[in-house]
A and B are shown apart, each in its own frame.
Chain A
């Protein structure tokens, strides 16, 4: 069975400083991994996904994530936070033909001026 752990429920950074949102997963098969962002009162938007190609994945809005199989991690990073990055971020693991799309509990990112 798959599972996703997002190690921090809340991360607070200052504008212009780096962002690190941590995600660890458990999967019996070769997983696909996704990061989604949810702004307040909005739907979920895909930031990036890993599907067994390059281990360093670049997404939208300057975000990227690195798949590390040995650490079963897929941490999300951004070099410099913007105020508009304040949102909830979800790490997602998918395998078994995509019939199990399991969300992590989410990390709320606050960006301070």
Chain B
């Protein structure tokens, strides 16, 4: 079986800092996603990538950059962390088409 690994599990940053979150999958899935999870707001799509070197903006892309240099990895950068920001960032992957998503366990971000 495969796995999606997100690093780090916990991230504490300072206001204005650039922060990078990493995601690796060994399913050989084509498509990868970054979601932000806030209490009461569900899952909101930040970026997704259909294949290596492809990037597509989601509904919440402002304030974020992403990079897909290899098929197996997808990184997300918070370009300028906002004070008191607290959220969980979830990475997911899928084969594509009508297949379901497989999620990582998340990176929990706190900005002080």
| Chains A and B bind each other | no
